[in-house]
Every structure is written in structure tokens, then in C-alpha cells.
């Protein structure tokens, strides 16, 4: 293993005494991001005022950042654009896919999908009012339900609770054999595993940048559309910045060129500045190397926990090739146990009803950190340190 990860670790601002195993929910602060945002605020916003849109290239940022993201997800530049939030990007991809399959009414997803993706599908079905159906099946049965009724599969590649990893190539192939389109949600894939969108012939992909990619809280989502589809899409979220000529201020909408039409409104310039600093770290990283290191870390974690904490039951696939970069353990009092861990500096999170979730992020977590974390977890579990009233009061965000 190269020492690239020692280098990347030094580029993050991690509080002393914290073992951060929650980069799958919110990545930590890249040290350079604070200065970058300050520079954009003072030198660009402060001094350039409105001329920053041209002079500082703010208007081109969503495409420029999309191009930098493209390498991490196996896309070519020009096919990814950044903006809005992931939920909005799900809406756009689903709306586009349904337009491309007007004779089909089924949206196929799995019961492990993240609720926001399902809620967006439900809302879109209501808005379209054309008799579409959201069909949810067990993740392991997905393949068998890809039939000629299906317009589009809406699948999150890595399950947010269990870390279970869907095989993008084989599902996409089956979908295409049945005349269906595929949308891949990469929320827990981008920056976590190797993704090859172009090789897998994915039709659409969407994701967020504040999880493994470390863009910062509320940093924007992204969307990929396969180049052979984009020109046939008439966006329903037809905002002015997806228009062919926004500054012509014409009254009628005309979709922009290529992926530009998936833009909606004004780019979040400050958030993009922070994301750019995060991508400077990613520029050093080879995704195959990252994946190998992520597997080494999660395997070590599982072995140590199973050795020391028999009361915790593995909730993730045991085979690392069937798992993303996070590990779940079931424990009845998982919420209280996680609060006790957080108080001792091991930060993971809890997902109802009983899942304790830990993310492994080689950019700033190494084997020594994993060993230190498992020692603390063993202490909390073996000595029932979680069994205190204060740890059982649920906060708004778990
Ligand atoms: C994190 C996550 C979201 C969150 O969407 P936002 O619009 O960014 O809040 C949506 N879908 C999946 C699969 C996620 O993991």
C-alpha cells in the first residue's frame, strides 16, 4: 500500500481525540476548504461583486466541478453536472427516464432504498397522474423483477443501512435486455468504491457530495446522463440556467446543450468552493487503491468486533465484494450504545430500529484508528457503559 493515505490524512482537520467513523454521512473538513471559502468570500464576492460570475468563473463552476467528479465515478467529462440536492437530482433523472419510456408504467426499486428516493418517486407519480406504479421488491430479488413492464430501475447501489452492494453491470445489463432504463443512486458509492458508469452502460446516475466526497454540509448533488440519451430529454424542472441561452431572457424554454439542461438555478458558489478544496484531495487518489484499503479497514473492524463483542450481530454482507465502505451491527440498545461511543470519541451513527453504522474512509482513517475504535467499543459493550438514562434520549438527528 502506498503512503498516499498518510498524506491525505494530514490534509483533514480532525478534532483531537475523535475517531471519526461517520464519513459516510458527513465527510470531515479538508483543511484547505476553510481558506478557500474565505478567499472566495473576500477576494471574489467581496471585491468582484456581481462581476464574479464572469471574472471568477462562478457560472461555469457546476460543469467544471462535474468534470472533476467524473473521474471518480467512471464517466467522461461533459456528462456530469453539479447543483441542487440529491433529492432534486433523483426527481430529474426519474422524470427524464419516464419520458423516454412513455409506454411503460413501472418504476422498480428495492425495499432497502433510502426513503427520500422513494418519496420523490411517489410525488412524481402523483404529479404526472399517468398511472405509474412504484414497485418495491427485496434487494436480493431485484433481478427477477426486471421485466418488460419496467420503465426504469431506481436503485441505490450501496444500501445506506447494511452497506449491501448491488452489481451495477449485471443489473444494468438485465434492465437493458428488457428494454428498461437504469438510474443509479451513488450516495454511498461516490468516493467509497470504484464506480464505472460508462463501462456499465448506466443511463443515469445521481449522488451527493457531502458524504464520502467531503464537500461540507449541504454541498450540492450531481447528475450523470449517458451521452446518447441527453439530447432526447425535455427537463420538467426547466429553470433558467438549464436554458440554451439564459441571458437572452426569452419567454419560452429551450433546453440547453447536453448536460447543461440538467442545471436548474443559481449555483451555490460558496458550497462549490469548499467542494473544490475537497476534490483537490481526491485528485491524488487512485480509486482501486482506495477500495483495497477500505476493504482492509472494514475486514479488520469486523474481525475485532466479532472477537470482542459477541452481543453485536453483523448486519452487513460478510463478503467484502458485496459490501460498500460501511459496516452495520445490530444491537437492541443500539441508540444508547452509539451515544456512549460518541461520548468517548468514537463517532458512528444509528439507524432505526437497531442498527449501529460505521463508515470506513481511507482518506483519513487508518488501521491504528480502527484498532483504537474497537478497543473503545469493546469497553462500552463488555461493561454495559451504554446503560444510562442520558444515552437513551433521542436527538432530532440520529
Ligand atoms: C443521503 C441520501 C439522500 C439525501 O438526499 P439530499 O437531497 O441530499 O438530502 C438521498 N438518497 C440517498 C440514497 C442518500 O443516501
Instruction: For residue 186, report the distance from its CA to the centre of ligand 1, in Å.
Output: 9
To the question of pTM greater than 0.75 for the whole model, the response is: yes
Task: Among 233, 265, 282, give the residue marking a domain's end.
Answer: 282
How far apart, in whole angstroms, are the C-alpha atoms of residue 107 and residue 95? Answer: 11
Question: Does some domain include residue 229?
Answer: yes
- Please check whether residues 219 and 362 belong to one and the same domain: no
Which residues have a Cβ under 8 Å from the Cβ of 47 and sit 6 or more positions away?
A: none
- Please check whether residues 138 and 191 belong to one and the same domain: yes
pLDDT given at position 394: 86
pLDDT given at position 2: 59
Active site amino acids: 114, 185, 210-211, 357
- Please check whether residues 16 and 144 belong to one and the same domain: no
Instruction: For residue 252, report the distance from its CA to the centre of ligand 1, in Å.
Output: 32
Instruction: For residue 46, report the distance from its CA to the centre of ligand 1, in Å.
Output: 32
Question: Does some domain include residue 138?
Answer: yes
Below-70 pLDDT ranges, the chain: 1-2
Burial pattern 43-62, b for ≥16 Cβ within 10 A else e, equals ebbeeeeeebbeebebbebb
What's the CATH number where 382 sits?
A: 3.90.1150.10
Helices and strands counted in the chain (H then E): 14, 15
> pLDDT by residue (tens digit) across 334-375?
999 999 999 999 999 999 999 999 999 999 999 999 999 999
What's the CATH number where 126 sits?
A: 3.40.640.10
Tell me which residues have their CB closer than 6 angstroms to ligand 1.
85-87, 114, 116-117, 156, 160, 185, 187-188, 208, 221
Q: Which domain holds residue 153?
A: 57-282
- Please check whether residues 274 and 301 belong to one and the same domain: no
Ligand 1 atom having least distance to the Cα of 210: 8
Ligand 1 atom having least distance to the Cα of 25: 1
Ligand 1 atom having least distance to the Cα of 211: 1
- Please check whether residues 163 and 61 belong to one and the same domain: yes
Amino acid at each position: 500500500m502506498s503512503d498516499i493515505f498518510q498524506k491525505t490524512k494530514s490534509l483533514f482537520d480532525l478534532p483531537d481525540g475523535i475517531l471519526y467513523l461517520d464519513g459516510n454521512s458527513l465527510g470531515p473538513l479538508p483543511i484547505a476548504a476553510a481558506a478557500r471559502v474565505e478567499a472566495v468570500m473576500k477576494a471574489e464576492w467581496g471585491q468582484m461583486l456581481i462581476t464574479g460570475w464572469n471574472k471568477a468563473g462562478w457560472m461555469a463552476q457546476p460543469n467544471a466541478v462535474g468534470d472533476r467528479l467524473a473521474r471518480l465515478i467512471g464517466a467522461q467529462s461533459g456528462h456530469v453536472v453539479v447543483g441542487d440536492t440529491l433529492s432534486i437530482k433523483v426527481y430529474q433523472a426519474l422524470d427524464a427516464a419516464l419520458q423516454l419510456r412513455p409506454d411503460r408504467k413501472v418504476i422498480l426499486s428495492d425495499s432497502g432504498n433510502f426513503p427520500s428516493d422513494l418519496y420523490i418517486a411517489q410525488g412524481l407519480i402523483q404529479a404526472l397522474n399517468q398511472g405509474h406504479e412504484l414497485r418495491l421488491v427485496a434487494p436480493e430479488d431485484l433481478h427477477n423483477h426486471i421485466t418488460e413492464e419496467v420503465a426504469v430501475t431506481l436503485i441505490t447501489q450501496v444500501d445506506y443501512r447494511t452497506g449491501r452492494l448491488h452489481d451495477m453491470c449485471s443489473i444494468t445489463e438485465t434492465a437493458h435486455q428488457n428494454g428498461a432504463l437504469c438510474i443509479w443512486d451513488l450516495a454511498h458509492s461516490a468516493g467509497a468504491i470504484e464506480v464505472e458508469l460508462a463501462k456499465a452502460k448506466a443511463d443515469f446516475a445521481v449522488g451527493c457530495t457531502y458524504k464520502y466526497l467531503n464537500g461540507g454540509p449541504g454541498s450540492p448533488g450531481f447528475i450523470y446522463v449517458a451521452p446518447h440519451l441527453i439530447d432526447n430529454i425535455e427537463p420538467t424542472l426547466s429553470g433558467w440556467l438549464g436554458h440554451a441561452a439564459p441571458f437572452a431572457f426569452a419567454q419560452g424554454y429551450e433546453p440547453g446543450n447536453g448536460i447543461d439542461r440538467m442545471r436548474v438555478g443559481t449555483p451555490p458558489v460558496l458550497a462549490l468552493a469548499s467542494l473544490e478544496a475537497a476534490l483537490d484531495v481526491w485528485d491524488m487518489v487512485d480509486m482501486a487503491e482506495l477500495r483495497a484499503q477500505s476493504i482492509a479497514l472494514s475486514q479488520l473492524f469486523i474481525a475485532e468486533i466479532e472477537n470482542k463483542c459477541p452481543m453485536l450481530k453483523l448486519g452487513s454482507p460478510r463478503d467484502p465484494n458485496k459490501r460498500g465502505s460501511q459496516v452495520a451491527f445490530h444491537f437492541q440498545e443500539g441508540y444508547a450504545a452509539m451515544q456512549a461511543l460518541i461520548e468517548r470519541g468514537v463517532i458512528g451513527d444509528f439507524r432505526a430500529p437497531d442498527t449501529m453504522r460505521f463508515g470506513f474512509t481511507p482518506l483519513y482513517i487508518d488501521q491504528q484508528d480502527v484498532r483504537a475504535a474497537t478497543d473503545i467499543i469493546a469497553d462500552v459493550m463488555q461493561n454495559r457503559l451504554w446503560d444510562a438514562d442520558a444515552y437513551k434520549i433521542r436527538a432530532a438527528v440520529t
